[in-house]
Amino acid sequence: MRGFATGRLGIDFFIGEDIVKTLKLAVVAFALLGGVAHADVIKVGVVGPFSGPFALQGKSFKAGIDAYMAVNGNTVGDDTVEIVYRDIPAADPAQSRALAQELIVKEGVQYLAGFYFTPDALAATALLEQGNVPMVVMNAATSAIVTKSPYVIRTSFTQYQVSSPIAQVAFNAGAKKVITVVSDYGPGIDAESAFKVAFEAAGGKTVESVRMPMSTNDYAPIMQRIKDSGAEGVFAFLPSGPTTLGFVKAFNENGLKDAGIKFFAPGDLTQESDLPALGDAAVGMQTTFHYAISHDSDANRKFVEAAGKAIGNPAEVNFPAVGAFDGMHVIYKMIEATGGEQDAAKAVDAIKGLSWESPRGPVAIDPESRHITQNIYLREVAKAEDGTYYNKEIQTFEKQGDPGLAYVK
């Protein structure tokens, strides 16, 4: 059977009746679904240190993102994911806010991510609700960040989360009097309080608390202060990078180690790329952290291989890579849940309670805080048979939330 149909331009053309039926059905289905399913490019704006002294940390962000996209592809449903990078070499909140604004307004990103330093993450949170944009923090580790906007999710760690378990380790190791030394900004202050609270609860005494300006790079006077304090151990936090390498070297080279002063810290201070430069002096150093490159699981081996390929030199892969890899997992889940539409509230709701197997072990997004619940590991710097150094996991503190949230004012 044949029939006529009239084209939109008024030109009559001849088509089969069955085809007319099919077209009518398609029009109804189109109306019911509310529009055409069209493929979009979903942009993700990533802010991090890609140049300057902390460039290696930014490189790890990129390695984690590239690894995730290499393993999982660059599409979610019909949509293609595109990453737009912006460089912020040092902590600079005004610059971070300007970059985030430009990404939202000019680039039209649907998601913000990255943020190595706390002040940069905090500054961008003010833009999220108006911009209708969720933000996935891939490193910045001050507890308060997630409380600044309902659209913040964190896939890294907090200083409270990683520094609390080392206090008990320090006490059990026989250090009853400890001095704390931290960088004087958000994560340093959190690390200091986390350690003090847990150490004093265990029965230890904090004899002195030193806060160093972030710009400090001569650590010899601090080492003298540690010696003079009479403490049996030191707890320290500095943001990973040239800072941590300089500090741990100074500890090892200024006779503190030889004087029997014990060293305790979160794993920021023994990140893998620093170990060759620290050498044998670092062997035996104990830290607590959420991730070690050596973590023994298939998921991690797959991740390390992909991140190593992405970065070019596998010895440069550090912990920000795992925060970025898991951050991308959360972003893909949000894109899936919203069908690619820009709806920050719906996207964030969809990943509350999400759990998965990360390269670091089992993790979940706490539905209340939107921060990641994860195992924290006690690790010791060890030397492998081939002469390379690594963080060897020796104890697991399972399913740790963020104790720091209880102290956020």
The stretch near ligand PHB (CB under 6 A) out of 66-74, 80-88, 133-141, 163-171 is 133-141
Which amino acid, 3? G
- Whose Cβ is closer to ligand PHB: residue 164's or residue 338's? 164
CB of 194 closer than 8 Å to CB of 401 = no
- Whose Cβ is closer to ligand PHB: residue 268's or residue 274's? 268
The stretch near ligand PHB (CB under 6 A) out of 136-144, 294-302, 324-332, 341-349 is 136-144
The stretch near ligand PHB (CB under 6 A) out of 22-30, 137-145, 307-315, 386-394 is 137-145
User: Pick from 114, 131, 165, 187: which binds ligand PHB (CB under 6 A)?
Assistant: 187
Instruction: State the pairing for strand pair 205-212/233-237.
Output: unpaired
Least distance in angstroms from the C-beta of 139 to ligand PHB: 6
Per-residue contact string for residues 98-117; x = within reach of ligand PHB by CB under 6 A:
------------------xx
Verify binding: residue 125, ligand PHB, rule CB under 6 A.
no
CB of 271 closer than 8 Å to CB of 241 = no
Measuring CA to CA, which residue among 140, 143, 98, 95 is closest to residue 121? 140
Measuring CA to CA, which residue among 188, 244, 183 is closest to residue 215? 183
CB of 93 closer than 8 Å to CB of 116 = no
- Whose Cβ is closer to ligand PHB: residue 99's or residue 347's? 99
- Whose Cβ is closer to ligand PHB: residue 139's or residue 180's? 139
Least distance in angstroms from the C-beta of 176 to ligand PHB: 28
Rounded Cα distance, 138 and 47, in Å: 10
Q: Which residues contact 101 (CB under 8 A, 6 or more apart)?
A: 127
Rounded Cα distance, 191 and 141, in Å: 10
User: Pick from 239, 308, 340, 359: which binds ligand PHB (CB under 6 A)?
Assistant: 239
In our burial notation (b when 16+ CB lie closer than 10 A, e otherwise), range 173-196 reads: eebbebbbbbbebbbbbbbbbbbb
Least distance in angstroms from the C-beta of 240 to ligand PHB: 4
Burial of 321 (0-12, 13-18, 19+ CB in 10 A): buried
Q: Which residue is nearest to ligand PHB (CB)?
A: 239
Rg (CA), the chain: 25
Residues of span 265-304 touching ligand PHB by CB under 6 A = 268
Give percent helix, percent strand, percent coil of the chain, each to the nearest 5: 45, 25, 30
Verify binding: residue 142, ligand PHB, rule CB under 6 A.
yes
- Whose Cβ is closer to ligand PHB: residue 266's or residue 359's? 266
Verify binding: residue 118, ligand PHB, rule CB under 6 A.
yes
Least distance in angstroms from the C-beta of 291 to ligand PHB: 12
- Whose Cβ is closer to ligand PHB: residue 204's or residue 239's? 239
- Whose Cβ is closer to ligand PHB: residue 340's or residue 404's? 404
DSSP class of 212: E
Verify binding: residue 240, ligand PHB, rule CB under 6 A.
yes
Total site size for ligand PHB, rule CB under 6 A? 11
Burial of 101 (0-12, 13-18, 19+ CB in 10 A): middle
User: Pick from 63, 127, 128, 140: which binds ligand PHB (CB under 6 A)?
Assistant: 140
Token look-up 């209340």 returns: 368
Binding site for ligand PHB (CB under 6 A): 116-118, 139-142, 187, 239-240, 268
